[in-house]
Amino acid sequence: MSRPKITIVGAGNVGATCAHWAAARELADIVLVDVVEGMPQGKALDLMEARPIFGFNVEVVGANDYEATRNSDIAIITAGIARKPGMSRDDLINTNKKIVSEVTRRVVEKSPKAFIIVVANPLDAMCYVAYKVSGFPSKRVMGMAGILDTARYRSFIAMELKVAVEEIQAMVLGGHGDDMVPVVSATNVSGVPLTNLLSRKKIAGLVERTRKGGGEIVALLKTGSAYYAPAAAAVQMAEAIIKDQKRVVPVSAYLTGEFGLNDLFFGVPVVLGARGIEKILTLKLTPSEEALLRQSAAAVARTRDELKM
């Protein structure tokens, strides 16, 4: 029986780290694609040479074209440029719209049955681009954001309370940006509500740190952005699909009325399994959380409208 196949487009830090996590977990054979000659091939060979040390046996290949990606089960799109100093948001959106459109077309041409996981920013808008260009059903196109944002939130809570991260159940919803909504009312530590364990002020600080989580890392690194946790989040999504795990996780999904929202990609809890997004779950929010979610949705809708698609 042949192994599943994951294509990762973009062999920069996030893409290469996706390949690393996926290979180490023996999820699938991996194709790393990038326009830079030699880079995906070099990183793929380096990963192949790690196989005897960690004892994984999947194939990892690098390529500059899409032939090697044929019949992939999953395509993770990390390609796109990061916002540079002096660059307007419009410039970023238009440049990445072109890149993601082209990549999606090439992926679909070779792998018409694939699931697409978008990591490129602005995340929710780039999911919309991939959805429109691919023509795929919405359950097969999704964005990696909520898992990462939730992981940051859970990490900060675990660090504050000095407890194991596995004990923390939490959910971060909304657009992937400063308007994201960590749902405090649904956050607990092995069933104990977070509000019983920390003061309102402490919780507000953790929520704010979560919202600025990406920026905190950018400020520390000075010349780049996060990649270990974003890549781990994308690979968790791929694993849930490949292994039909039915994970309940927040992802950027296409909404058609859920949460009162329409025709946009937005971070919501879903059941992720072999059919992709098998179900979108709704969550009872407090009035203040509801208001924050509306604010986040308005920001995401503005960016979607700028795409003019």
Which of 143, 168, 195 finishes a domain?
A: 143
Residue 122 preceded by cis peptide, ω within 30: yes
Count the neighbouring beta carbons within 10 Å of the beta carbon of residue 254: 24
Q: Is 176 a catalytic residue?
A: yes
* Same domain for 261 and 216: yes
C-alpha dihedral (98, 99, 102, 106), degrees to nearest 10: -170
- Res 264 pLDDT > 90: yes
pLDDT band at 173 (very low <50, low <70, confident <90, very high): very high
Mean pLDDT of the 243-260 span: 97
* Same domain for 206 and 74: no
Residue range 299-308, pLDDT digits in tens:
999 999 999 9
| Token pair in block for residue 238 | 């791929």
Domain that holds residue 276: 146-307
Mean pLDDT of the 205-233 span: 94
* Same domain for 109 and 179: no
- Res 85 pLDDT > 70: no
* Same domain for 50 and 135: yes
Nearest to 187 by CA among 289, 300, 292: 289
Alpha-carbon gap, residue 49 to 229, rounded angstroms: 23
- Res 77 pLDDT > 70: yes
pLDDT band at 87 (very low <50, low <70, confident <90, very high): low
* Same domain for 277 and 194: yes
* Same domain for 99 and 155: no
Which of 94, 119, 143 finishes a domain?
A: 143
Alpha-carbon gap, residue 80 to 121, rounded angstroms: 7
Residue pair 70/109 in contact by the 8 Å Cβ criterion: no
Predicted local distance difference test score (pLDDT) of residue 246? 98
- Res 132 pLDDT > 80: yes
* Same domain for 154 and 192: yes
Alpha-carbon gap, residue 144 to 233, rounded angstroms: 7
Task: Classify residue 223 by its DSSP letter.
Answer: S
Predicted local distance difference test score (pLDDT) of residue 88? 72
* Same domain for 137 and 154: no
| Token pair in block for residue 260 | 């009162």
Nearest to 117 by CA among 146, 79, 74, 147: 74
- Res 89 pLDDT > 90: no
User: One of 5, 43, 97, 176 is an active-site residue; which one?
Assistant: 176
Total structural domains in the chain? 2
Under DSSP, is residue 47 helix (H, G, I), strand (E, B) or coil? helix
Tokens 């709704």 belong to 282
Which of 143, 170, 190 finishes a domain?
A: 143
Mean pLDDT of the 259-273 span: 97
C-alpha dihedral (257, 262, 263, 265), degrees to nearest 10: -80
- How many helices (H) does the chain have, and how many strands (E)? 10, 14
The mean predicted confidence, pLDDT, of the chain is 96
Under DSSP, is residue 169 helix (H, G, I), strand (E, B) or coil? strand
Under DSSP, is residue 277 helix (H, G, I), strand (E, B) or coil? strand
pLDDT band at 2 (very low <50, low <70, confident <90, very high): confident
* Same domain for 234 and 139: no
Q: Which CATH number characterizes residue 64's domain?
A: 3.40.50.720
Q: Which CATH number characterizes residue 301's domain?
A: 3.90.110.10
Indicate the residue type of 261. Answer: L
DSSP output for 61-82: EEESSSGGGTT-SEEEE--SPP
* Same domain for 172 and 138: no
Strand pairing class (29-33; 5-9): parallel
* Same domain for 101 and 165: no
Residue range 35-62, pLDDT digits in tens:
999 999 999 999 999 999 999 999 999 9
- Percent of the chain at pLDDT above 90? 91
* Same domain for 115 and 166: no
